[in-house]
Chains A and B, each alone.
Chain A
């Protein structure tokens, strides 16, 4: 029966080999290194093909990361943009799109991997200042002066004063709405069916009777749809400012008086909203799977939602209609309150040039084009003319023939996150032609806050910020989602926050605030 023994050996060997192969597969997860070498190879390729053009500039491939959904026709857009860029600055482009569900993770991982990146979307609410402290982003002052003439010409000057740390500029913000208003978007058809009147909404709590009606009369519809951890901010952003990334609950209340840096989760504004959210969750107005739902877009697209939180600006509802395909109403969460433009608002959409860029000058030229080249900007925003959209006027566009929000190969782009000058964007057929004029008025209506231009530098308390971010994310989400009781749950969280050093961070930030205000006088 030796044969049996042999068989056993062979089986064991096979299993062993299988397991080695399988672990090998697992190990290749972080193969970003190899992809970066690919892109370098294609740089070499393109250098061979387009040698004749623009002799002063060598061919170059720009590797760019944007917050955008992964769409079917992305390769086509990439080719089109590359064509235009080859003519103008002899460069081609590699577009990497990641959306809400993965951008934050992906960004940290590709930066840590040392991949060659030329332009990257990096908003202040996703740890931009931490990256600056780690020297991951390049200083842009000289590059801007040399290659960014159109940026300085077209951008509202307030923007370039915001992303500044230790006197140096580290990002180019998007020229757009200068502040956001917290509020909701509502499915118009449903609102009209029940004759809801939104003119009397003074606080978010006033939405409750409507949610109640929808809950009772429309069984298949979620009255207030919300995804993992995303809800509370829309109702608190008019009053509270985070000074670091959103996971870290440290900040101050917007006011004309003295600025006090505090634990935001103990402010009355936050507590009120959280308690209301909890009530809504208990009454079944918020979807039960809020804690595990990673993306609420499918629910909205399927018209299974009545209302959801959103950061508003003039024409937000029309912008969203282009993505969702049905009419929406936008309603501010609070009435008769002053709106402040804060540093956070000016830095909430920015492009940076990472240190790994092999040609920062070219990257700046590309950003410059986003501020003066209507063709490139709109290509990135809306896709290819007559394939994804068609022109119906000088500046007005609509879906191309046979294309809808559902079947378009390039849709769902968040135009505000694509950088550049948003006032160059075409408008949709359903949008009012004076949207950009209104937007400029809107921008002027904001009250500049006292701290405008101040950015928190977390260098001295990096350890504390890192711990607070982990605690804030893990323990804060359940609060924001409404799945736990504030009074029962928060004491435990408070203990963790204090252990993680929240008081030290508050004190450090307070000192920086005081120094800034003293220097301003």
Chain B
């Protein structure tokens, strides 16, 4: 019996590597496409991982990165010593949650609207116009925002007097920034999401709609019962990917757009800006890496949690 099993299994086992090789050959175009991002991920994410040890060292330039003396968890004290730890954690997660919800809602809605436009030329034009800000640098966006919100800017000099509103010194009032930042982020990034959902909509078989029209379904009914259900898997995938990054923030947005105003730090300081500032003002590599390490660990558990909760809702959409 045993030997019997053995002989039947053996060919399968030996076949496996050959199978992979064969797959490599047949799908070589696909693997070739995978190669650049693969190399990028190795270089950008895996190689620097050895640098984690700096977080546990009292780094100095003489002994370098391998031979500097160990310092235990002393570098982490700095993160929790100030009142910053709570503030930056709250801001990072809070903003990312807002961004995920807003981007999902508006990307899907606008994609649906663009898809229903009869004039396809106009639809393309709108789409391009909405997509354009995505390619702007954050520095440019920051100065556009400054041109509108500065004390001598468009709002205070032109809009406020016209509509009889009081002038506001935006760069000294932290309470407005939880609205300004999501708006700016949405304006800049929405085009990217729209393209993904438009692609998803184009992929839906037209026969469903033809059948629905025969049954007398209205446009709204078609959207609700055909388009949206088809988009749900795409929405889940993009949301999980965004949740995995919830502990990373868009450095450009939070560093450039508020113009590094200390007064706004209550509502604009996030992990990435804090780590950057810590390195710039203290010049201490150990402490900066400790903060980076903290970010990665929490981020890692958040990915696990996000994936686990998706598994609870619909098991087939789990990533791993």
Contact = CB atoms under 8 A, between A and B. Distances in A.
Q: Do A and B come from one complex?
A: yes
B216 interface: no
Contacts of A477: 261-263
B78 interface: yes
Given A108-B279, A467-B82, A474 B284 contact: no
A496 B146 contact: no
Interface string B270-298: 00001001111111110100000000000
Interface in A15-34: 15, 17, 19-20, 23-24, 27
B133 to A, nearest CB: 14
Contacts of A464: 81
A interface bracket (residues with beta carbon within 8 Å of B) = 35 or more
Interface residues of B, number: 55
A463 B73 CA distance: 12
Interface stretch (B158-166, B193-201, B311-319): B193-201
B215 interface: no
A1 interface: yes
B40 A474 contact: no
B61 A135 contact: yes
B146 A292 contact: yes
Interface in B58-98: 59-63, 74-75, 77-78, 81-84
A189 to B, nearest CB: 25
A292 B259 contact: yes
A495 B84 CA distance: 12
Contact of A134 (B60, B146, B151, B265): B60
A218 interface: no
Given A17-B33, A20-B40, A23-B40, A131 B281 contact: no
A288 B284 contact: no
B35 to A, nearest CB: 11
B62 A135 contact: yes
Contacts of B203: 4-5, 7-9
B195 A11 contact: yes
Interface string B22-64: 0000000000010011001000100000000000000111110
Contacts of B150: 289, 292
Contacts of A448: none
Contacts of B151: 288-289
A130 to B, nearest CB: 5
A355 B62 contact: yes
Contact of B263 (A24, A127, A289, A478): A478
A291 B81 contact: no
Contacts of A483: 169, 172, 263
Q: Main SS of the interface on chain A?
A: helix
Contact of B33 (A13, A471, A473): A13
A474 B259 CA distance: 12
Nearest to B259: A292
B280 A105 contact: yes
Nearest to B63: A135
Given A470-B82, A474-B262, A135 B60 contact: yes
Contact of B77 (A27, A463, A475, A496): A463
B262 A466 contact: no
Contact of A499 (B82, B192, B259): B82
A501 B74 CA distance: 15
A291 B259 contact: yes
Q: Which among B74, B152, B206, B263 has the highest number of chain A CB atoms within 10 Å?
A: B263
A463 B281 contact: no
B83 A473 contact: no
A1 B206 contact: yes
Interface string B169-196: 1011000000000000000000010011
A505 to B, nearest CB: 12
Interface string B114-155: 000000000000000000000000000000001000111000
A496 B278 CA distance: 15
B202 interface: yes
B282 A12 contact: no
B205 interface: yes
A5 B36 contact: no
Contacts of A465: 282
B6 interface: no
A210 interface: no
A214 B255 CA distance: 36
Contacts of B59: 134
Contacts of A314: none
B249 to A, nearest CB: 14
B83 A499 contact: yes
A469 B282 contact: yes
Contact of B277 (A15, A292, A470, A478): A470
Interface string A102-138: 0011001101100000000000000100110111100
B283 A111 contact: yes
Nearest to B263: A478
A37 to B, nearest CB: 16
Contacts of A484: 172, 263
A8 B192 CA distance: 15
A318 interface: no
A112 B51 CA distance: 13
A261 B199 CA distance: 65
Contacts of B206: 1, 4
A342 to B, nearest CB: 23
Contacts of B277: 470, 473-474
Contacts of B36: 20
Given A7-B203, A108-B280, A483-B263, A463 B78 contact: yes
Contacts of A467: 78, 81-82, 282
Contacts of A127: 281-283
Nearest to A136: B61
A462 interface: yes
Given A12-B199, A466-B282, A27 B81 contact: no
Given A4-B202, A136-B61, A475 B262 contact: yes
A508 B203 CA distance: 68
A501 B204 CA distance: 61
A24 B282 contact: no
A500 interface: yes
Contacts of A466: 78, 278, 281-282, 284, 287
Contacts of B281: 127, 245, 247, 466, 469-470, 473
A134 B283 contact: yes
A476 interface: yes
Nearest to B61: A136
6 contacts: A1-B205, A134-B61, A288-B169, A465-B282, A467-B282, A473-B262
Q: Which 4 A-B pairs have the closest CB atoms?
A: A8-B203, A466-B282, A474-B262, A288-B151
Given A463-B75, A466-B282, A475-B265, 14 more contacts: A5-B203, A7-B203, A11-B199, A15-B196, A17-B33, A27-B44, A134-B59, A135-B60, A289-B152, A355-B61, A463-B78, A464-B81, A466-B287, A469-B281
